[in-house]
Structure 1
């Protein structure tokens, strides 16, 4: 049976993917190839320092077809990297989102190119947390609620095999299907609102 992707209409077919430093960052090149093949989207990637230690910027550039932004600003270019990154996309996917990144984003901290780009964007933001057992901690749950109250679309975590214990646990990064279903709902709601 052929795989059916959710219907997602983006005005300019542009998606910024923010990658943070959780182990599932290693899966992101495959996700990027899927987004390009399934939807024909123009995909750009912005990485944190921790993400760049888990997945090579070269692999992300090859999979996205674009240069990778970050982890640092490039002041010598004469451009404002985070503002250009924020203005460019129709949607932002944060895949995976660590507890650290979520906490900073929820509290308006913009001490990295990835956080600043996400904070400045007016595009819908879909966050795919990768938290493991931290997903049940009160502080983490508070931060996720804050993001949702601020209009950020948080995809519920799934279950997965822990790199630490080798056993299945909750709090794992959601699947690409769950992330795309969330983005589909967001874009459908936006289309209805603009009518």
Structure 2
């Protein structure tokens, strides 16, 4: 990235929701970059599938915060999804699988990660990791629904498939693309209604 975009977050509180696509393994590096570049306080919420691809220990170590999920912890007496939703100034869903996108688009909150994202009033930026599913009618409908609902969906890119080893479309967007989208969203929010 030649020049990092200005991202006006008053308190620098960013929640990253990690779902079960292979690029979840890169999220600890993203967290370190975000903390170094912006000085943000980063928290992470994971799905069950994400825990098979990236360890909670790595996410906690790089974020400096305990990891939320994949399950609710009612015995703590806290309502984790509501607290995290209220705490966040921005939510990044990195990577977002077709399954997670479909559930979110239809208001399904059967996981801590989905409930947290559904309850937040912060801007939500979704970085899909879809492979060939990116062009399927159902996926396109779900992404359109998210956009219509005010969710900021970053366009997928081209990447190397873990399956075939060849380049294909539908790859998770780069950190540059995600940050550029978040910059546009937060700048518009800072300007307020016109």
TM-score, normalised via structure 2 length? 0.98
**1:82 counterpart residue number:** 81
Residues 28-177 of structure 1: pairs in structure 2 closer than 5 A: 28-177=27-176
Aligned length: 194
Deviations, residues 51-88 of structure 1 (Å, cap 9, x unaligned): 01100000000111100000000011001111011100
Measure how far apart 1:194 and its partner are. Answer: 5.7
Structure 2 portions without partners, runs of 5+: none
Moved over 2 A (4+): none
What is the distance in 1 between the residues matched to 2:24 and 2:120? 22
What is the distance in 1 between the residues matched to 2:137 and 2:192? 34
Deviations, residues 93-137 of structure 1 (Å, cap 9, x unaligned): 000000000000000000000000000000000000000000000
Residues 170-189 of structure 1: pairs in structure 2 closer than 5 A: 170-189=169-188
Answer yes or no: is 1:190 the counterpart of 2:171. no
**1:13 counterpart residue number:** 12
Cα 1:119/1:55, change in 2 over 3 Å:
same
Deviations, residues 13-50 of structure 1 (Å, cap 9, x unaligned): 00000000000000000000000000000000000000
Q: CA RMSD in A?
A: 1.0
What is the distance in 2 between the residues matched to 1:156 and 1:175? 10
What is the distance in 2 between the residues matched to 1:182 and 1:41? 17
Structure 1 portions without partners, runs of 5+: none
What is the distance in 2 between the residues matched to 1:64 and 1:53? 19
TM-score, normalised via structure 1 length? 0.98
Measure how far apart 1:3 and its partner are. Answer: 3.5
What is the distance in 2 between the residues matched to 1:194 and 1:139? 33
